[in-house]
Amino acid sequence: MNADQLTPFWSMWVAVITLGVIFGCLALLLAIRKSEPHKEETDADTGHEFDGIRELDNPLPQWWYYKFLILTAFGLLYLALYPGLGSYQGLLGWSQEGQWQAEMDKAEQEFAPVFAALAQGSADELAQDPEAMKVGGRLFRNNCAICHGQNAKGAYGFPNLTDSDWLYGGKTENIVATLNGGRAGMMPSFAHLGDETIEQLSHYVVSLSGRAHDINQAALGQPVFQQNCAACHGGDGSGNQMLGAPNLMDNIWLYKHPNLTVRDSIKLTLQNGRQGQMPAFDRLGQDKVKLLSAYVYSLSQ
Ligand code: HEC
Ligand code: HEC
């Protein structure tokens, strides 16, 4: 949890306990010092003796006493300057996030010319440049691999970027547009058509890519498809890259659930709809977007 997420109560709680402990220790120290019977070292003892070892009744050593005072002052100064007391931000305005951001900005400034130099020329040209593609691959592993995989082959709901099947088009300008704007797939739910119709539709959809299907069921699904699905997926099921509606004829499935058959996965899609979200990456700047797009393009060549 972040300090600035503390409620005022817990913020006060932390601050009061922290200051209470510091001032409590200080008060204890001063009280002891005041109650000491003599200020100088003497030979007086407390009367305790064991095995010939006597406990002397001497004052606190000066060096120890002053060290304690200095450390207390340091602690209070630190708590005034830096965040430490609940959600109090400190006089210096320092924060972990701020320091991280400053380091990122510095790295950004340092490396911007490097990326700019690498990103000369069009994305199509960059895809032929091994040096640029090495950097593109590194950018991909840092920014994209969590969703699309180290090898860019995708996973359930995350498209394979190494094949020639594209939701939104595989030309470099399509990929640049995907990265700059992000993409939001919108496949509505058709649960209202009922289980029987969804069963028929699923047979028809798998028939489009030549998979095993029940001919009678598929024949019943065909007119329903024309009526409900053709607007987005096309009359023949070949898809529409303007909408990101997948080609249903190529036997490549974005939503093939690992534990279900293709047809059962399709039924799940029809029941629930699908909303794939590709985040926008324009914040990386256009040099990196170009390098990444060229890299993704090169994977499918
Ligand atoms: C948070 C997960 C996530 C991250 C991170 C991510 N993507 Fe995606 N990406 C997706 C999803 C989900 C889709 C499919 C969107 C849809 O279903 O409409 C997608 C789609 C795409 C497409 C379109 C594929 C096509 O067939 O048209 C490209 C290209 C792409 N991503 C490239 C990248 C690159 C390059 C990066 C890194 C800069 C990246 N993605 C990072 C989730 C992600
Ligand atoms: C409004 C446009 C739209 C309509 C209407 C529509 N779809 Fe879709 N469909 C999409 C989009 C967009 C996706 C991709 C969703 C994503 O990327 O998350 C998709 C995905 C799918 C998928 C998943 C494909 C895969 O590769 O896993 C199937 C199957 C499917 N649709 C079948 C149908 C059927 C059958 C109908 C008619 C009952 C239909 N769709 C109606 C837009 C539509």
- Predicted confidence band at 54 (pLDDT cuts at 50, 70, 90)? confident
In the structure, which protein residues have their CB atom closer than 6 angstroms to any atom of ligand 1? 140, 143-144, 146-148, 157-159, 161, 166-168, 175, 178-179, 183, 185, 244, 276-279, 281, 292, 296
Mean pLDDT of 169-177: 96
- The span from the CA of 184 to the CA of 205, in Å, is 23
CATH number at residue 125: 1.10.760.10
Measured in Å, residue 170 CA sits from the centre of ligand 2 at 19
140 neighbors 292 (Cβ within 8 angstroms): yes
Measured in Å, residue 233 CA sits from the centre of ligand 2 at 7
- Predicted confidence band at 170 (pLDDT cuts at 50, 70, 90)? very high
Nearest partner of 149 among 301, 296, 297, judged by Cα = 296
For residue range 57-66, what is the model confidence (pLDDT) as tens digits?
888 888 999 9
Q: Are residues 152 and 110 in the same domain?
A: yes
Q: Are residues 13 and 52 in the same domain?
A: yes
Q: Are residues 152 and 288 in the same domain?
A: yes
Q: In this model, does residue 49 exceed pLDDT 70?
A: yes
Q: Are residues 86 and 127 in the same domain?
A: no
User: 266 in ligand 2 pocket by Cβ < 6 Å?
Assistant: yes
Q: Are residues 143 and 205 in the same domain?
A: no
Q: What is the pTM of this model?
A: 0.77
Q: Are residues 108 and 88 in the same domain?
A: no
Number of domains in the chain: 3
One-letter amino acid of 19: L
| 16-33 residues labelled b (16+ CB within 10 A) or e (exposed) | eeeeeeeeeebeebeeee
Q: Where is the domain boundary, 56, 79, 94? A: 94
Q: Which residues contact 66 (CB under 8 A, 6 or more apart)?
A: none
For residue range 135-165, what is the model confidence (pLDDT) as tens digits?
999 999 999 999 999 999 999 999 999 999 9
Q: Are residues 152 and 82 in the same domain?
A: no
Q: Are residues 237 and 117 in the same domain?
A: no
138 neighbors 111 (Cβ within 8 angstroms): no
From the CA of 170, give the closest atom in ligand 1: 27
User: 184 in ligand 2 pocket by Cβ < 6 Å?
Assistant: no
Q: In this model, does residue 169 exceed pLDDT 70?
A: yes
Q: Are residues 109 and 136 in the same domain?
A: yes
**What residues make up the domain containing 56?**
3-94
Measured in Å, residue 157 CA sits from the centre of ligand 1 at 10
